[in-house]
């Protein structure tokens, strides 16, 4: 009798299979490894790091070079007061003049006008000035009152014949003096460039005299030289080109 009761009790139970215990996981498919992509990623990282290192090294390799602090006219040389040193990134394709080469640079002449704040390169200077075609350099000596006190290298000036013998000099010099003026018979050159300036500032007693080297047209050089030899020249600063 007890056997039948147990059998009947078991017959009423559900046939649903037991659930897996908590914590058990279903099996997953293994991940596919891609060694080529991993190697490429590592290579890109290395290339980027190398490029950054090269940029840092290049930026850190700087050299001391010459920069002009005022305009240097054609045919003029630099002096210690005309230049300063600056640091730039080294570049073999640019022919910088290094600061230690300043002594040699002072012996050379500017091939063209070099403007203020220009970093100097070797091609800008040469043993000869390389005057433009049709131009000439003429030296004039001026007394105090025959030039503006603030005149400087690179200024554009008009050159006048002055003195008691202006009329006689003009008549003897022909058309050079009169035709150049247009506005007055004592004007020799309407526009001449100051190539270099010298004075006797180093003398114990200053006389106020000044010497100028002027860049003029070849057709005007003779008239300027003639007036300069007679001490009958004055210059006036005029607007540049």
Mean pLDDT confidence for 73-90: 88
Fold of 62-126: Type Iii Antifreeze Protein Isoform Hplc 12 (3.90.1210)
β-pairing, 187-199 vs 210-217, is antiparallel
- Residue 190 has which token pair? 């309407």
Task: Domain ranges for the chain, please list them.
Answer: 62-126, 135-237
Per-residue pLDDT for 203 more than 90? no
- pLDDT, tens digit, for every residue of 32-78? 666 777 777 888 888 887 777 666 555 558 899 999 998 887 778 89
Task: Identify the helix (H) or strand (E) that includes residue 170.
Answer: helix 166-173
Q: What are the φ/ψ torsions at residue 234 (nearest 5 degrees)?
A: -135, 150
175 pLDDT band, cuts 50/70/90, is very low
Q: Specify the pLDDT at position 14.
A: 53
Q: For residue 30, what pLDDT band results from cuts at 50, 70 and 90? A: low
pLDDT at 100: 94
- Dihedral of alpha carbons 28, 33, 38, 40, sign: negative
Q: Of how many residues is the chain composed?
A: 241
**pTM score:** 0.48
For residue 198, is pLDDT > 60?
yes
pLDDT reported for residue 44: 84
The residues, any chain, with a CB within 8 Å of residue 107's CB and separated by 6 or more, are 77
């Amino acid at each position: 009798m007890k056997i039948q009761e147990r059998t009947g009790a078991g017959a009423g139970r559900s046939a649903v299979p037991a659930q897996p215990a908590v914590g058990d996981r279903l099996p997953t498919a293994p991940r596919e490894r891609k060694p080529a992509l991993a190697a490429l990623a590592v290579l890109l990282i290395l290339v980027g790091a190398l490029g950054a290192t090269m940029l840092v090294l290049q930026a850190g390799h700087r050299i001391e070079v010459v920069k002009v602090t005022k305009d240097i006219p054609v045919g003029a040389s630099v002096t210690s007061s005309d230049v300063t040193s600056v640091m730039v990134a080294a570049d073999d394709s640019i022919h910088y003049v290094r600061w230690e080469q300043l002594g040699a640079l002072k012996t050379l002449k500017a091939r063209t006008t070099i403007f203020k704040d220009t970093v100097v390169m070797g091609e800008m200077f040469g043993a000869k000035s390389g005057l433009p075609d049709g131009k000439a350099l003429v030296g004039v000596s001026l007394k105090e009152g025959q030039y503006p006190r603030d005149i400087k290298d690179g200024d554009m000036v008009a050159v006048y014949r002055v003195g008691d013998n202006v009329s006689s000099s003009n008549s003897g010099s022909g058309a050079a003096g009169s035709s150049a003026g247009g506005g007055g018979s004592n004007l020799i050159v309407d526009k001449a460039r100051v190539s270099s300036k010298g004075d006797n500032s180093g003398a114990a007693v200053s006389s106020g005299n000044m010497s100028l080297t002027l860049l003029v047209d070849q057709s005007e050089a003779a008239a300027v030289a003639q007036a300069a030899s007679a001490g009958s020249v004055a210059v006036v600063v005029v607007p540049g080109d």
